[in-house]
C-alpha cells in the first residue's frame, strides 16, 4: 500500500512549517506540490530530506507557479510538458521505483484563467482552455498505469461548489470549462477518485477564498484539486481523504491537501 498526497501550497518556502507539520501528521509516501513559487536551486531539499523525503522532481520558476514531487521512495523524473506553451513551470511527471514500481504520477497546475470567462476579452481564459486541450491530446497516448493530480482550477460538478447557479458565470465553474475538462477525462477514461470515494452530491471542497472572514461558517468552497486515475489503476485505490484542518493552520494555504491510498 502506498499513499499519495497533493497540495497547492501557495509558496513552499513561505509555508515549509505547515508542510513539515503535514508530513509528520499524515506521512504520505509521495507529496505533489503546486504553486511552489521558487526556482529549483532555492527549493528546500534539505528540509524535505530531514523528514525522510529524499527523492524529488522539481520544475520551478521564480516567484510564480512551479510544481514539485517529493517522495520517501525512489523515483525518476518521467516528463515535463509545457501545456501552457509559454515556458511556465506547470507540470512534472515521475515514475515511482521500489515499492511503487511502474506507477506514473503526473503533477499539474492548470492556469486559473483570470476573471472574465471569455477568451476574446481575457487572454488568460483562452490560455486555460488551450492548456486543457493540449493535455487532452497528450492523454490519448498514455499506455501506463497513471495518476494525474494537482490543482485543476475547475470544479466540474454541481456539488463541487457551494452555489452552483451563482457560480455558473464565474471562472472555475463555467459550462465551457466543465465541458473542456470532460473531454480530457474522456480522452483516457480517467476515474475521478475524489468522487469515486466521496460520491456526489456529498459535500467535498478543497479551496476556500482568503477573503472569507470565517471559512468554516460561510463554507463557500470549491473542489479545485483533483486526483484522477487511469482505468486500470482506479480499482486499486482503497481510500481518499481531504485534510480540511490545514485551512485552520497559521499562515495557511487557501487549498487543503488530498490523500489517496493505492494497493499496488
**pLDDT for residue 99:** 78
In angstroms, the Cα distances linking 230 to 4, 65, 148 are 15, 26, 8
Q: Region 92-113: what's the mean pLDDT?
A: 94
* Cα separation, 53 vs 70, whole angstroms: 6
pTM over 0.75: yes
* Cα separation, 113 vs 228, whole angstroms: 21
Q: How many CB atoms lie within 10 A of CB 129?
A: 18
Q: How many CB atoms lie within 10 A of CB 219?
A: 12
β-pairing, 146-151 with 104-109? Answer: parallel
**pLDDT for residue 101:** 84
Cα torsion angle, 8, 14, 20, 21, sign:
negative
Residue-wise pLDDT for 239-259, tens only, equals 999 999 999 999 999 999 999
Residue-wise pLDDT for 153-176, tens only, equals 999 999 999 999 999 999 999 999
User: Hey, which residues does 56 pair with through a beta bridge?
Assistant: 70
pLDDT band at 98 (very low <50, low <70, confident <90, very high): confident
**pLDDT for residue 212:** 84
Q: Region 90-117: what's the mean pLDDT?
A: 94
Ordered domains of the chain (ranges, CATH): 2-262 (3.60.10.10)
Give the residue with greater pLDDT, 194 vs 100. 194
Over 90: is that where the pLDDT of 89 sits? yes
**pLDDT for residue 65:** 97
pLDDT band at 79 (very low <50, low <70, confident <90, very high): very high
**pLDDT for residue 213:** 83
Residue-wise pLDDT for 125-156, tens only, equals 999 999 999 999 999 999 999 999 999 999 99
* Cα separation, 100 vs 9, whole angstroms: 24
* Cα separation, 67 vs 75, whole angstroms: 16
Mean pLDDT of the chain: 96
Using alpha carbons only, what angle is made at residue 162 by residues 152 and 64, rounded to the nearest 5 degrees? 35
**pLDDT for residue 174:** 98
pLDDT band at 37 (very low <50, low <70, confident <90, very high): very high
Q: How many CB atoms lie within 10 A of CB 30?
A: 28
In angstroms, the Cα distances linking 169 to 48, 97, 200, 211, 226 are 40, 43, 22, 19, 21
* Cα separation, 21 vs 15, whole angstroms: 10
Alpha-helical segments (H) within the chain: 16-26, 45-50, 123-139, 175-188, 193-197, 215-218
Q: What is the largest CA-CA distance in the chain?
A: 49
The residue among 163, 181, 173 whose CA lies nearest residue 117 is 173
Amino acid at each position: 500500500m502506498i499513499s499519495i498526497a497533493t497540495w497547492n501550497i501557495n509558496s513552499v518556502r513561505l509555508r515549509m512549517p505547515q508542510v513539515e507539520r503535514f508530513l509528520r501528521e499524515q506521512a504520505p509516501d509521495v507529496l505533489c506540490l503546486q504553486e511552489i513559487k521558487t526556482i529549483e536551486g532555492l527549493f528546500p531539499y534539505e528540509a524535505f530530506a530531514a523528514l525522510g523525503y529524499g527523492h524529488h522532481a522539481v520544475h520551478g520558476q521564480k516567484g510564480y507557479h512551479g510544481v514539485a514531487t517529493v517522495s520517501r521512495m525512489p523515483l525518476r523524473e518521467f516528463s515535463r510538458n509545457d501545456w501552457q506553451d509559454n515556458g511556465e513551470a506547470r507540470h512534472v511527471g515521475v515514475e515511482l521505483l521500489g515499492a511503487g514500481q511502474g506507477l506514473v504520477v503526473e503533477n499539474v497546475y492548470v492556469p486559473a484563467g483570470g476573471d472574465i470567462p471569455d477568451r476574446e476579452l481575457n487572454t488568460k481564459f483562452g490560455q486555460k482552455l488551450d492548456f486543457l486541450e493540449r493535455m487532452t491530446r497528450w492523454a490519448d497516448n498514455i499506455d501506463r498505469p497513471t495518476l494525474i493530480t494537482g490543482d485543476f482550477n475547475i470544479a466540474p460538478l454541481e456539488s463541487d461548489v457551494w452555489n452552483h447557479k451563482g457560480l455558473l458565470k464565474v471562472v472555475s465553474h463555467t459550462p465551457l470549462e466543465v465541458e473542456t475538462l470532460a473531454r480530457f477525462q474522456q480522452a483516457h477514461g480517467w476515474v475521478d477518485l475524489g468522487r469515486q470515494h466521496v460520491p456526489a452530491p456529498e459535500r467535498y471542497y478543497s479551496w476556500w477564498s482568503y477573503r472569507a472572514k470565517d471559512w468554516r461558517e460561510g463554507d463557500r468552497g470549491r473542489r479545485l484539486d483533483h486526483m484522477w486515475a487511469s482505468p486500470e489503476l482506479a480499482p486499486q485505490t482503497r481510500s481518499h481523504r481531504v485534510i480540511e484542518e490545514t485551512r485552520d493552520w497559521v499562515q495557511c494555504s487557501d487549498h487543503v491537501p488530498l490523500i489517496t491510498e493505492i494497493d499496488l
